[in-house]
């Protein structure tokens, strides 16, 4: 009951696929009303981690605690029931289906009984429209295909759906990576709102400029292991960026770029100086 009881916690979680160790000994705590940013390069284990959290994979070792109780999810459906909603990168949206059909996919509201049991379309349309309006997207017609929405709007439908169905933990897999600046800000604003509503949010991203404004803490993954969790107060944007990309690599990249620039300008100067670049090339051969 204490304030500091994590909403969801991973204790020494490992995941092996045959001989491949995808995750090793990860511990992480996420509190309600907080955004935990999961950072890491490609292949760091971010996807495996969220799939373990959302019930797609079961951990090989270690345990998951939801609200302080150890749990095990046999499938994504169990995790959903427990209040862990994942918005996957591919959105779990079907472009040719209507907004309402997508919104209620798998959890359709019904009226009637027995063989007359049917979807309550009126109610479903109203809720879909209303939930979208809450996040500032004014849907003209909830029966229009999701494919007609922009990327940011689709992402918001996916998040709105998760929130509407009572998610306590919201896992977002790179929700802003494919979006333009304006659309990304719509999504980020919505993440901030979800946090204010008391959800525990796990936000996976590559983009530190997206991560920094909304995150309360950062967990860094590298090669299947955790490099640690940092509170936002304890760190700066540059530090996070450095940790994310491996600071040394970025520095060497800087050096390399500077080298390119130097040799470029040298060549230019050369070309200007020589009579014809063609003769120089021929001579070189």
**Contact mark string toward other proteins, 246..275, x via CB under 8 A:** ------------------------------
**With binding defined as CB under 8 A, does residue 169 bind other proteins?**
no
Closest CA to 173 of 206, 197, 142, 200: 206
**With binding defined as CB under 8 A, does residue 94 bind other proteins?**
yes
Whole-angstrom Cα distance, residue 31 to residue 150? 31
**Contact mark string toward other proteins, 122..161, x via CB under 8 A:** -------------xxxx-xx--xx-xxx------------
Which of residues 36, 44, 66, 93 is near other proteins by CB under 8 A? Answer: 93
Shortest Å, Cβ 90 to other proteins: 6
Contact 215, 37 (CB under 8 A): yes
Shortest Å, Cβ 83 to other proteins: 13
Shortest Å, Cβ 76 to other proteins: 6
Q: Helix count (H) and strand count (E) of the chain?
A: 10, 12
Whole-angstrom Cα distance, residue 277 to residue 240? 46
Q: What six digits make up the tokens of 75?
A: 């499938």
**With binding defined as CB under 8 A, does residue 77 bind other proteins?**
yes
What are 84's strand-pairing partners? 169
Which of residues 46, 101, 154, 210 is near other proteins by CB under 8 A? Answer: 101
Shortest Å, Cβ 259 to other proteins: 45
Total site size for other proteins, rule CB under 8 A: 36
**With binding defined as CB under 8 A, does residue 76 bind other proteins?**
yes
Q: How many Cβ atoms sit within 10 Å of the Cβ of residue 257?
A: 10
Whole-angstrom Cα distance, residue 144 to residue 101? 10
In the bound state with other proteins, the residue whose beta carbon lies nearer, of 116 and 283, is 116
Shortest Å, Cβ 147 to other proteins: 4
Point out which span in 14-22, 38-46, 114-122, 205-213 binds other proteins (CB under 8 A).
Answer: 114-122
Whole-angstrom Cα distance, residue 203 to residue 31? 13
Tell me the torsion sign for CA atoms 259, 264, 269, 275: positive
**With binding defined as CB under 8 A, does residue 233 bind other proteins?**
no
Dihedral angle, C-alpha 268, 270, 275, 278, nearest 10 °: -70
**With binding defined as CB under 8 A, does residue 91 bind other proteins?**
yes
Shortest Å, Cβ 92 to other proteins: 4
**With binding defined as CB under 8 A, does residue 104 bind other proteins?**
yes
Point out which span in 117-125, 214-222, 243-251, 266-274 binds other proteins (CB under 8 A).
Answer: 117-125
**With binding defined as CB under 8 A, does residue 198 bind other proteins?**
no
Q: How many Cβ atoms sit within 10 Å of the Cβ of residue 63?
A: 13
Instruction: Give residues with Cβ within 8 angstroms of 17, minimum separation 6.
Output: none
CB burial of residue 145 (10 Å; 0-12, 13-18, 19+): middle
Largest Cα separation within the chain, whole Å, is: 91
Residue 99, helix vs strand vs coil: helix
- Note the residues at the interface with other proteins (CB under 8 A): 76-77, 80, 86, 88, 90-97, 101, 104-108, 110, 117-119, 121, 135-138, 140-141, 144-145, 147-149, 186
């Amino acid at each position: 009951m204490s304030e500091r009881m994590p909403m969801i916690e991973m204790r020494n979680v490992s995941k092996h696929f045959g001989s491949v160790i995808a995750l090793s000994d990860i511990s992480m705590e996420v509190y309600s009303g907080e955004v935990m940013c999961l950072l890491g390069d490609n292949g760091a284990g971010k996807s495996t981690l969220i799939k373990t959290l959302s019930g797609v994979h079961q951990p090989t070792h270690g345990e998951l605690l939801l609200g302080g109780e150890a749990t095990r999810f046999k499938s994504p459906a169990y995790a959903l029931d427990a209040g862990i909603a994942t918005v996957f990168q591919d959105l779990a949206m079907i472009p040719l289906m209507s907004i309402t059909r997508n919104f209620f996919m798998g959890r359709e509201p019904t009226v009637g009984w027995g063989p007359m049991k049917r979807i309550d379309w009126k109610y479903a349309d109203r809720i879909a429209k209303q939930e979208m309006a809450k996040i500032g997207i004014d849907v003209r017609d909830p029966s229009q295909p999701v494919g007609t929405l922009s990327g940011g709007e689709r992402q918001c439908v996916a998040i709105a759906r998760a929130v509407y169905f009572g998610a306590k933990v919201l896992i977002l897999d790179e929700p802003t990576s494919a979006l333009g600046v304006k659309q990304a800000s719509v999504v980020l604003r919505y993440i901030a709102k979800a946090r204010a509503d008391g959800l525990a949010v796990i936000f996976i991203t590559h983009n530190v400029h997206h991560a920094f404004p909304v995150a309360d803490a950062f967990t860094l993954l590298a090669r299947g292991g955790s490099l640690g969790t940092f509170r936002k107060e304890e760190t700066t944007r540059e530090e996070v960026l450095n940790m994310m990309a491996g600071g040394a690599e970025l520095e060497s990249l800087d050096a390399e770029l500077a080298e390119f620039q130097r040799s470029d300008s040298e060549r230019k100067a050369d070309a200007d100086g020589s009579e014809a670049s063609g003769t120089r090339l021929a001579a070189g051969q």
